[in-house]
């Protein structure tokens, strides 16, 4: 049986003005943004709509901001009957919106958790300066091998470089301290690859931020996780899970472990997914889906604008 998958983006999808049209059109979207302002005790809505980008992209602001937009768009979809899906997946931060869509987390709990997640990650980034780079033209095994070589060359504890995201074949992100990431780029060039530095404030999905894991695990324990109403495939395992405690552990591990997005997409294809709908700002995840060898057999949609929503409702 064909499956419909809702994909929720994470950091990197942001744009000034994201979600504003939905805020103006749908009362349920306004409720989400007002909730986000209250939970963060900030003018998060104004930051999403007006910027400045420099403030929006600070991880303490960006994590609740993107989550608010993801949740507001999903709530808008739901209000017009457009939320029919079989599986929910989110890329890194986007996993919290996926858990809310599957009714594992209440929207307010998802927003609280990403607020704390952003704060704790930012604290670690202040302690251990980090960098990330997108790697092109290298297989995952080669990226992992080169990263291990650099770590074994004598980098002290809490320094080094690791594979952080496996988004697609030939599209991988590495994370680590700036010197190690720079060295990785130099070595990759000599092996036919290319590493493009990313504008980030920390070494996400690496041991450099493992100091955030224990306190965040305590935050996760304070929030109710319900059994999912729809299937959720998790970043850390590329597998679905129904046990609330295991889901909590997955979200704790996600902080310092690679995002297995390619494995997730492959699993979904094997299980019969043929319709992918990216719900949130940007078009990163739908773009990855379009590059899969099987993409000619897929229906792929974005819901980032009101026009997108209208197109999706006509196609259903």
Q: What is the pLDDT of residues 155-198, one digit of tens each?
A: 555 589 999 999 998 899 999 999 999 999 999 999 999 999 99
Q: Within 10 Å of residue 71's Cβ, how many Cβ atoms? A: 29
131-199: what CATH class? alpha beta
Residues composing the chain:
316
Where are the domain boundaries for CATH 3.40.366.10 in the chain? 3-125+209-315
Residue 68's pLDDT band (boundaries 50, 70, 90)? very high
Q: Which residues of 110-133 are buried (b: 16+ CB within 10 A; e: fewer)?
A: bbbbbbbbbbbbbebbeebebbbb
The strand pairing partners of 175, in sequence order, are: 132, 162
Residues involved in catalysis: 92, 205
Average pLDDT, the chain: 95
Q: From CA 88, how far away is CA 102, in angstroms rounded? A: 7
194-197: strand order across its sheet: 161-168, 171-176, 131-136, 194-197
Residue 1 has pLDDT above 80, yes or no: no
pLDDT value for 159? 81
Q: From CA 255, how far away is CA 288, in angstroms rounded? A: 22
Q: What is the pLDDT of residues 18-65, one digit of tens each?
A: 999 999 999 999 999 999 999 999 999 999 999 999 999 999 999 999
| Angle between helix 107-127 and 213-221 (nearest 10) | 170
Count of CA atoms in the C-beta half-sphere (13 A) of 289 = 29
Average pLDDT over residues 294-300: 89
Residue 302 has pLDDT above 60, yes or no: yes
Q: What is the pLDDT of residues 73-97, one digit of tens each?
A: 999 999 999 999 999 999 999 999 9
Residue 295's pLDDT band (boundaries 50, 70, 90)? confident
Where are the domain boundaries for CATH 3.30.70.250 in the chain? 131-199
3-125+209-315: what CATH class? alpha beta
pLDDT value for 158? 52
Average pLDDT over residues 236-262: 97
Residue with tokens 């700036």: 178
């Amino acid at each position: 049986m064909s499956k419909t998958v809702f994909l929720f983006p994470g950091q990197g999808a942001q744009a000034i003005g994201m979600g504003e049209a939905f805020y103006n059109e749908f009362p349920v979207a306004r409720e989400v943004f007002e909730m986000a302002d209250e939970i963060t005790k900030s003018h998060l809505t104004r930051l999403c709509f007006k910027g400045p980008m420099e403030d929006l992209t600070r991880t303490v602001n960006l994590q609740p901001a993107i989550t608010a937009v993801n949740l507001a768009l999903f709530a808008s979809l739901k209000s017009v009957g457009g939320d029919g899906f079989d599986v929910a997946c989110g890329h890194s931060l986007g996993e919290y919106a996926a858990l809310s869509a599957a009714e594992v987390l209440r929207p307010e709990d998802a927003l609280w958790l990403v607020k704390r997640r952003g704060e704790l990650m930012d604290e670690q980034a202040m302690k251990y300066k980090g960098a990330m780079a997108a790697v092109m033209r290298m297989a995952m095994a080669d990226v992992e091998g080169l990263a291990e070589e650099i770590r074994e060359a004598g980098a002290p504890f809490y320094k080094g470089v690791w594979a952080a995201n496996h988004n697609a074949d030939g599209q991988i992100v590495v994370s680590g301290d700036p010197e190690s990431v720079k060295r990785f780029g130099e070595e990759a060039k000599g092996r036919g690859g290319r590493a493009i530095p990313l504008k980030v404030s920390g070494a996400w999905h690496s041991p450099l931020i493992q100091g955030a894991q224990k306190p965040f695990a305590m935050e996760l324990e304070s929030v109710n996780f319900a059994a999912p109403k729809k299937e959720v495939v998790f970043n850390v395992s590329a597998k679905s899970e129904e046990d609330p405690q295991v889901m909590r552990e997955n979200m704790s591990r996600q902080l310092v472990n690679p995002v297995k997005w390619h494995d997730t997409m492959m699993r979904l294809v094997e299980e019969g997914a043929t319709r992918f709908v990216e719900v949130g700002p940007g078009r990163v995840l739908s773009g990855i889906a379009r590059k899969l060898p099987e993409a000619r057999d897929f229906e792929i949609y974005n819901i980032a604008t009101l026009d997108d929503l209208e197109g999706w409702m006509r196609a259903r």
